[in-house]
Amino acid sequence: MTYWLNPIFYEFIKFRVLLFIKGFKRVQQNKIFIGSILFASFFLQCYECSDEYFGIPILLNGKKEREIMKSGLSKALVTGGAGFIGSHLVDTLVKEGCDVVVLDDLSAGSLSNLKHVKDKITFYKGNIQDQKILMKAAENCEVIFHQAALVSVTKTVDNPVDSAFINDLGTLLVLDAGRKNKVKRVVFASSSAVYGDDPLLPKHESMQPKPMSPYAVQKLTGELYAHIYYDLYGIETVCLRYFNVYGPRQDASSPYSGVISIFMAKAVSKKPSLIYGDGKQYRDFVFVKDVVKANLLAATAEDAAGQTFNIGTGKHVSINTLWDMICLLSGLNIKPEYAPPRPGDIIESVASIEQAKSALGFKPDYSFEKGLEITFKWYKDSRK
Ligand code: UD1
């Protein structure tokens, strides 16, 4: 509240002095002053009720009112901030007026994801295993959003050791940089992969994890480190178990990419998709903007520290249905091709988001249809 209150009263005082100089009598000055206060209080009441502030941009300390932060974060580090999820998070933090630092080695992310905010952030090109650069990037940060990871399950099956350096050691180093820099909170991007193939559905945070791939083991290890850092060092850590995240900017160029990005690219180029297994396996697909929302809630919710939350939608879609929906969106009628199931692949995955709802106030804003439509438009436009 003080963000806007102080400058407004400052303006009033200036206004009164101006009236005095212009020769207005004291009674006239008071009438104008009271009138101004009544107008301002009406305006500010409207402001309190609206996110959009009636579209009126007010300049305060050189920033537009719209840019004043809602989550209230002063400075944040986003590891993997040039990547798919990280760059969307950076966008929102920048919009909210947060001072954003990005650390990314550009192995999977791309500077093109940040081109529209490049003058508003501090960017470090580097690896999370490089302690020197990590310490520098975390300096004076209130929160670290740890998104950097090797995200392909299949890649970790092929390279269990190399991926552990990034996903395990990297996470430990990020937590430690947070500890040494006295960062208040670290939000860790974990994965629903930790549940494995437990037939109990929906997946609930209290279930015993059953990792089926090095990737899942690595994410679970990251969670355990996060809990230990909270217990031993008091650094507030929150783990978010992402279900299948999709949306604009997800890289579709590798066979290891997320299924929606691959299918979108196929549809745009009018080629058939390749489905591993019978296509009846299903996932809880969550739109990237909802994942950003979950991160901001996790960074600020009072009782979240030391906890782990599922971030999904609570709904599921099979891979066969997914291709049908994309065909419908793109006006195609192409039958998919089928290949044997991938090793380490989970069959059924759907989240219970009750815990995130009650502790964080998390509720997804995007239906699957809406998210898919936005995503398809992005892939179509970026091909032009
Ligand atoms: C994904 C994420 C992982 C995340 C996890 C959470 C990626 C690359 N992986 O893993 O980081 O932690 O969700 O649950 O985003 N498929 C096809 N054809 C394709 C590609 C995939 O049929 O061309 C199938 C796969 O065999 C799988 C399903 O689609 O059954 C989803 O695969 P994928 O998008 O790679 O995600 P996950 O393995 O679930």
Nearby residues of 148 by Cβ (< 8 Å), 6 or more positions away:
79, 80, 83, 86, 103, 104, 105, 128, 166, 170, 174
Ligand 1: nearest atom to the Cα of 275: 22
pLDDT score, position 225: 98
Using CA atoms, how far apart are residues 9 and 16, in angstroms rounded to an integer? 11
- Compute φ and ψ for 327, nearest 5 degrees: -60, -40
Q: What angle do CA 276, 328, 369 make, to 5 degrees?
A: 85
Give the tens place of pLDDT for each residue, 127-177.
999 999 999 999 999 999 999 999 999 999 999 999 999 999 999 999 999
Residues 125 and 260 in one domain: yes
Using CA atoms, how far apart are residues 140 and 76, in angstroms rounded to an integer? 9
Nearby residues of 334 by Cβ (< 8 Å), 6 or more positions away:
270, 271, 272, 273, 327
Residues of the chain with pLDDT below 50 are 1-7, 41-69
> For the chain, what is the domain count?
2
pLDDT score, position 213: 93
Cβ pair 120, 176 in contact under 8 A = no
Residues 37 and 105 in one domain: no
Domain range for 63: 2-67
Ligand 1: nearest atom to the Cα of 151: 11
Burial status of residue 43 (CB atoms within 10 A of its CB: 0-12, 13-18, 19 or more): middle
Cβ pair 194, 226 in contact under 8 A = no
Ligand 1: nearest atom to the Cα of 242: 6
* Residue 311 CB–ligand 1 contact under 6 Å: no
Instruction: Quickly tell me which residue has 């552990």 as its tokens.
Output: 164
Residues 56 and 114 in one domain: no
pLDDT score, position 55: 29
Q: What per-residue string of b and e applies to 366-384 under the rule 16 or more CB within 10 Å gives b? A: bebeebbebbbeebeeeee
* Residue 152 CB–ligand 1 contact under 6 Å: yes
Using CA atoms, how far apart are residues 220 and 143, in angstroms rounded to an integer? 21
Question: What is the value of pTM for the model shown?
Answer: 0.83
Residue of minimum CA distance from atom 16 in ligand 1: 259
Side by side, the strands of the sheet bearing 121-125 are 121-125, 99-104, 75-79, 143-146, 185-191, 236-242, 308-311
283, 318, 349, best to mutate for ligand 1 pocket (most atoms within 8 Å of CB):
283
pLDDT score, position 383: 81
Q: Which of 191, 340, 317, 195 is nearest to 263 (CA)?
A: 317
Q: Around Cβ 169, how many Cβ atoms within 10 Å?
A: 14
Helix (H, G, I), strand (E, B) or coil at 59: strand
Residues 131 and 60 in one domain: no
Residues 283 and 207 in one domain: yes
pLDDT score, position 106: 97
pLDDT score, position 29: 65
* Residue 276 CB–ligand 1 contact under 6 Å: yes
Ligand 1: nearest atom to the Cα of 347: 30
Using CA atoms, how far apart are residues 373 and 268, in angstroms rounded to an integer? 13
Residue of minimum CA distance from atom 21 in ligand 1: 259
Using CA atoms, how far apart are residues 268 and 368, in angstroms rounded to an integer? 19
Residues 194 and 51 in one domain: no
* Residue 320 CB–ligand 1 contact under 6 Å: no
**Which domain CATH number covers 103?**
3.40.50.720
Residues 298 and 341 in one domain: yes
Give distance in angstroms: CA of 178 to centre of ligand 1: 30
Give the tens place of pLDDT for each residue, 302-355.
999 999 999 999 999 999 999 999 999 999 999 999 999 998 788 999 999 999
Residues 59 and 79 in one domain: no
Active site residues: 215
Residue of minimum CA distance from atom 3 in ligand 1: 151
Using CA atoms, how far apart are residues 169 and 163, in angstroms rounded to an integer? 9
Q: Are β-strands 59-60 and 99-104 bridged in parallel, bridged antiparallel, or unpaired?
A: unpaired
Using CA atoms, how far apart are residues 58 and 162, in angstroms rounded to an integer? 50
* Residue 87 CB–ligand 1 contact under 6 Å: no
pLDDT score, position 2: 37
Residues 34 and 79 in one domain: no
Residues 90 and 238 in one domain: yes
Residues 351 and 244 in one domain: yes
Looking at 24, 47, 67, which one is the last position of a domain?
A: 67
Instruction: Quickly tell me which residue has 């996932």 as its tokens.
Output: 283
Looking at 14, 32, 67, which one is the last position of a domain?
A: 67
Instruction: Quickly tell me which residue has 């979240």 as its tokens.
Output: 304
pLDDT score, position 60: 33
Residues 119 and 157 in one domain: yes
Looking at 67, 88, 123, which one is the last position of a domain?
A: 67
Give distance in angstroms: CA of 174 to centre of ligand 1: 26
